[in-house]
Structure 1
Amino acid sequence: MLTRKATEADEREVKGLWGYCFEKPSDPFFQWYFENVYSPETVLVGEEKGQIACDLHRRPYTINVRGERLPVDYIVGVATHPAARGKGFASELLRGAFHMAASEGKPFVTLMPSAASYYLPMGFGFYCHQWERRASPEELAKISRKALSCRTISSEEDWRELASIYDAYTDGRNGYTLRDEVSWKSHIQGQLVEGYIALVYDERGPSGYLFYTFDDRTLIATEMAFARESGRRGLYAYMAGHRGSVDTCVWYEPIDDMSWMYWNDGAEHTYISNKTFPYMLGRLTDPVTAFDGLPCPEGVEGEIAFQLADSFLPENSGIYVLRAGNGHISALKTDVFYDLKLHIEDISGVPMGSAIPEPAFCIGAGALAQLFMGSADLSDLLRLEKARWLTKNEAGRSRTLALGKAMLPKEKNWINEWF
């Protein structure tokens, strides 16, 4: 199979594959996407015998990672024509997408899976879950509080009020998309194609917004953000106001949200249904570029060496060293020097000392992505057997765990992009 970027001449086949696997060409979102978002250079196609057998769309985003801006590809629309399935074409295409991202200075890619079991063996790891919450409008009213005022938005020109709420909502969070005027306007346009946007206010101004649609008698909120608790309760009241029109309201909130502890009558177990929603996978395409220069707390100093086992991108496998100092991490792949050290020691019988660090643990690509994003720390991954010790020295293990936790602490991850 030939893997290449799409050209203008491929548009008909790309549209055809999207229409076959996702929305129909008559669907309003299909029309909006290909008129306003699609560009051939962001689509990777797999060509077999002169025809496009599979493709994927590489949506460029910038996300916040531990306070730094990181360019990424958000992979959407992974599609294979049924006539070409079962041949490994999609896996080959994704591998090509990883190589292309790395060559373009994008050391991390994201993907929202329809079936995570397909992508996890490719080195992806979950870095973001959300709570999916459900309640009838009548029950939701019990934990709501009517907003000072509210309105619906019908134009992308109102993006600044939404942006002010989003900035407050993401303060202290990690992994979210950095949105500017252009991306906000596109985000709003995409929502208004088939849905609605509500904005609530309190005494201090815009306090919360809701992106939502209707499916039969269900209100589905695909994005909810609030600057203050009054905004959250005001949005609950807005959804509760649909009593008589809908039977159920569905909305999503960050996995670290603990508001259910303060709901009336323990709503978590009575009138609010609350379950985890696996949302976003991440995958490192270039570990050195990803970690090098990453901020870490001031005063943290030391180095950690580890072995990466990456079966899907074997060229990434090897020995890495992360050094912390002056508020940043420096990264180096040292497997070439490590192999040379072992060879010299083997033929000479003379130890070369610790100038080249021994790896303390071995970790897989998916787990390393979770460590990078802070959805887990090193002690979590070792306890869950997503990483395993290579060193038998107990004191060395303790030092590695302490430094790993200080260098790469857990983060409150949240992201909410659908296309």
Structure 2
Amino acid sequence: MIVRKLEQKEHRQTRELWEKVFAEDTKAFLDYYYFIKTRDNEIYVIEEDRKIRSMLHLNPYLVQIEDRQFPCHYIIAVATEENYRGRGYMRTLLCRALEEMYRRKEPFTFLMPAAEAIYTPYDFRFVYRQNIGETKGNDGHLQAEIKEAELFDAADMAAFFNQYFRDKYQICAVRDEAYYQTMILEQKSENGGVCLIKEADKIRGMFAYAREERLDIREPLYLPEWESEFLKAVAMFRGKEEKSAVLYACSDLFTAKKKPVIMARILHLEELLKAMKVQSGETICCSFAVIDPILVKNSRVWKIQSEKGQDSLSVAETEDSEGVLPIGALTSFLFGYKTLEEVKEEDGVILTPHLEIELGKIKQLCRIYLNEIV
């Protein structure tokens, strides 16, 4: 058994395994993925009998956390050939990748799990519930210009998001020209594209769409006064046989359910804590022990504190602990997925009254917008 990170020129060698394990993916999508995404991603593999039998891909994203930006990686295509399963290959690859990302001081990694139970043993926890809804759209004469986004539109798309939507979120992938160029190509590989709603050559709204078995719309973003034009655009895109379009990451107005879709795993805890903020008008000073059985350098007693009038955290090691937080429970709390009351019920969590008060002053990272697919 050989465990290694492939060189970029070797990345295409994993396509055969992808096609075996993820047979539902189309040739058009895989052509896109292996032409675009494997240019700058990392692929860890296990070779057995002189062939790749297991793999894990790390796709790079620049991620905004509060007012800082960090290189992070999205985990995808964790796969093992059927006859080689049950040998611990996934654990080997996952731990290798986690250790490498920790070494680079990446604050966290994230993925969209096939099943939650696969990743909880590695201390991944859900952090993001995605709004999902449906709409038929509205019939009517469009006042706006509706056009398909082309690669040269990507800079304007990034400017639109960053001007009107970026400040709504504490965590999201950095949206620049390259990000939206990749999105356009990805959507086209799934029999779709990105629709722009424009007036006087200015973007007033946009949404990604794909049509395979149905019309799926992802990230419908538009200025409030242009909602009616968005709905008319949906009606225009919807086929005569389609009763409605499914909306992903939509506004609360259209939301029928909030589905847990993204799990995260804290990597370099110190870097993550340094990026976080204190609630307005508060100062914090406390210490707690963290238990991390995989990234053992996180298993220390940490002291966090802030200065009066400042919202940033300073982080240091100490010896005196006021409580204990396993890394998985800490993830659920820091990302705002669970309250302290809920976290207290988890195995291994110990919180003194003072520690509970102090942790409550942290501004949890609950405004998350992570809708990446690959």
TM-score by length of 1: 0.79
* 1:284 corresponds to: 266
1:201 counterpart = 2:210: no
1:170 counterpart = 2:133: no
Q: 2:356 aligns with which of 395, 401, 416?
A: 401
165 and 386 in structure 1: CA distance in 2 versus 1, 3 angstrom threshold: farther
Kindly state the Cα deviation for residue 318 of structure 1 after the two structures are TM-superposed. 3.3
Q: How does 1:305-384 map to 2 (within 5 A)?
A: 305-325=287-307, 326-334=310-318, 338=319, 357-360=320-323, 362-382=324-344, 384=345
**Residues 145 and 199, structure 2, Cα contact 8 Å, conserved in 1:** no
Q: Deviations over 1:159-199 (max 9, x none)?
A: 13322332212322122100222222122122223312211
Partner Cα separation in structure 2 for residue 324 and residue 364 of structure 1:
23
Q: How does 1:17-416 map to 2 (within 5 A)?
A: 17-22=17-22, 27-39=27-39, 42-135=42-135, 137=136, 140-141=137-138, 148-167=143-162, 168-193=164-189, 194-201=191-198, 205-216=202-213, 218-226=214-222, 228-241=223-236, 242=238, 244-253=240-249, 257-259=251-253, 274-297=256-279, 299-325=281-307, 326-334=310-318, 338=319, 357-360=320-323, 362-382=324-344, 384-385=345-346, 388-391=349-352, 397=353, 399-409=354-364, 411-416=366-371
Partner Cα separation in structure 2 for residue 275 and residue 71 of structure 1:
31
311 and 415 in structure 1: CA distance in 2 versus 1, 3 angstrom threshold: same
5 and 244 in structure 1: CA distance in 2 versus 1, 3 angstrom threshold: same
180 and 8 in structure 1: CA distance in 2 versus 1, 3 angstrom threshold: closer
Q: Deviations over 1:121-170 (max 9, x none)?
A: 211111111121124x2xx43xx887531322251101133223322123
Unaligned runs of 5+ in 2: none
Q: Deviations over 1:8-56 (max 9, x none)?
A: 5644531111221225797111112111221376111123354322111
292 and 146 in structure 1: CA distance in 2 versus 1, 3 angstrom threshold: farther
Kindly state the Cα deviation for residue 363 of structure 1 after the two structures are TM-superposed. 2.2
Kindly state the Cα deviation for residue 285 of structure 1 after the two structures are TM-superposed. 1.4
Kindly state the Cα deviation for residue 418 of structure 1 after the two structures are TM-superposed. 0.9
**Residues 310 and 316, structure 1, Cα contact 8 Å, conserved in 2:** yes
TM-score by length of 2: 0.88
Partner Cα separation in structure 1 for residue 57 and residue 43 of structure 2:
4
Partner Cα separation in structure 2 for residue 278 and residue 65 of structure 1:
20
182 and 253 in structure 1: CA distance in 2 versus 1, 3 angstrom threshold: closer
What is the CA RMSD across the aligned residues, in angstroms? 2.7
Structure with higher Rg: it is: 1
69 and 370 in structure 1: CA distance in 2 versus 1, 3 angstrom threshold: farther
Unaligned runs of 5+ in 1: 261-267, 269-273, 339-356, 392-396
Partner Cα separation in structure 2 for residue 50 and residue 128 of structure 1:
40
**Residues 202 and 230, structure 1, Cα contact 8 Å, conserved in 2:** no
**Residues 105 and 267, structure 2, Cα contact 8 Å, conserved in 1:** no
Q: Deviations over 1:271-328 (max 9, x none)?
A: xxx1222221111112112213534346432322222222343443332222222331
Aligned positions, number = 369
114 and 284 in structure 1: CA distance in 2 versus 1, 3 angstrom threshold: same
Partner Cα separation in structure 1 for residue 140 and residue 201 of structure 2:
16
**Residues 319 and 359, structure 1, Cα contact 8 Å, conserved in 2:** no
**Residues 149 and 202, structure 1, Cα contact 8 Å, conserved in 2:** yes
Kindly state the Cα deviation for residue 92 of structure 1 after the two structures are TM-superposed. 1.4
